[in-house]
Structure 1
Amino acid sequence: MATLLRKIGLIRLHDRDTEDPKHHQGSLKGTKGNQKNNTKHCNTSNETNILSTPEIKAKKFDHSVKDKTPSKDKQGKDTKEKQQEKQQQQQQSSKSSSIPQLAPQRQHCTQVRTRRLMKELQEIRRLGDNFITVELMDDNLFEWNVKLHQVDKDSALWQDMKETNTEYILLNVTFPDNFPFSPPFMRVLTPRLENGYVLDGGAICMELLTPRGWSSAYTVEAVMRQFAASLVKGQGRICRKAGKSKKAFSRKEAEATFKSLVKTHEKYGWVSPPVSDG
């Protein structure tokens, strides 16, 4: 037995000695490598666990947001300032676009109207036939008082003028900004007339005094001749009634009457007087 046990022990010792030292070292290296990897893995896991905690993440996110995004007050101020700048730019652009367009147009219309009226005044004074005379209202070139001295001498109106010692029929004529491309507004002041297409307030029912019947070729002198003809054709007379004759014509009433008659004639047509008769 003793010899048997000794043999077995020798065999085990022999096996240990005959084992491959490289294999043994590899196994040792493997264990060391596993230890190293394990330590590295533990270290990395610990680091990631420490850096990835929610508190630290939240802090980092807060700092980054604070650095990048401005405060609400700053945002509000910036938006208000931008809106104000846009409004100022729009106002400046609208002013710059409107002023150069409107001012020259108005200036041109004023020049055309002034030249035309000055020319007509010279022509009326040059004629000197005592048909009409013109006076400026308060030295205003754009508002005239026109005296009509003559009508058809065979008419009843002419007889009325003689009997009442009426030397002329006085009319007020105002010229709009775009004259002569738009008609003047004309009304009778004195005496108070009946018929002859003279209506309430001294308004005159004549198609040529409306935008539809007006032509820029008409002169004031030509308009007055047509008005004199329409007075006779419409059997105009001087009012001699005690109550009515003293009542003066008014501009507001004349303007309202003229607007009303224009609407009526635009709806039903201009039957009398025709344009040829004034």
Structure 2
Amino acid sequence: MTNLMIGGVPEHFNLPWYLTLREKAYHPKGINLRWQDFPGGTGAMCKALRDGSIDMAVILTEGIIADIVKGNPSKIVQIFVSSPLRWGIHVAADSDYKEIDDLKGTKAAISRYGSGSHLMAYVHAQQAGWDLEKDLDFELVKNLSGALEKLPQGIGDYFMWEKFTTKPYVDDGTFRLVGECPTPWPCFVIAVREELLENQPEMVTDILEIINRTTFEFKQIPAIDRMLANRYDQKLEDIQLWLSQTQWSQQNLSAEQLIAVQEQLLHLDLIEKSLDPSKILFDLNYTFTVD
């Protein structure tokens, strides 16, 4: 049995992984796949891929692309969620900020530099027409828990995070939602360390086949909306809306999609160069098919 470690955020997008792990679905392939939660998000997972403490990650597209360009020894093997991530723009419920324009020149609370909350602050600022040098500033808060603690104290002014994950804290009066910023690309991909891809690519293919079959059938699982709502402490109607807006994928990023993300990152000065798609995407010669 080969031990492999995969990381991801502890959010509803990743319930399909929990289901396969609970069923020990990888054991017949000789794989003991273990999951590690990363509440700190993309930046923390990039670090873990670099130092080898995880072998794979379910990770934000823009974050892992930027880090691979900067030397992360990993490659993208597949899209996991093809629909956009709907980033909510949150402020403390009792703050004086009422709309997006009020946030110009204030401090964005971010989990860490290189994280999705960091990169998407740039994307949002560009979309809002702000000056990226003068109108953006940052406050490190580590993760969602840190933002829940710090924003009401006036440490950081706004916080961007997936809006359904933060919805309970809007409902309970900790946060107030002032806007949204959907990603202009598929939101989550599966990244794998090059060492594993070079030495055991067949195991990566086996893992993809199992998780793809689960995500392909995921929305048809009886009472899956209630399971999600209970596990992630969400209102049933919020989960049902989220499910209707979310699409899992069984395909890899196209070269065109990758180039578009890199062009945006270059434009925002978040990377200094772009790489050929072959340096970021890995072709396993695998195609998911429905029986």
TM-score by length of 1: 0.22
Kindly name which structure, 1 or 2, has the bigger radius of gyration based on alpha carbons. 1
Q: Which has the higher strand share?
A: 2
TM-score by length of 2: 0.21
Q: Which has the higher helix share?
A: 1
Higher relative CO (Cα under 8 Å, sequence separation at least 6) belongs to 2
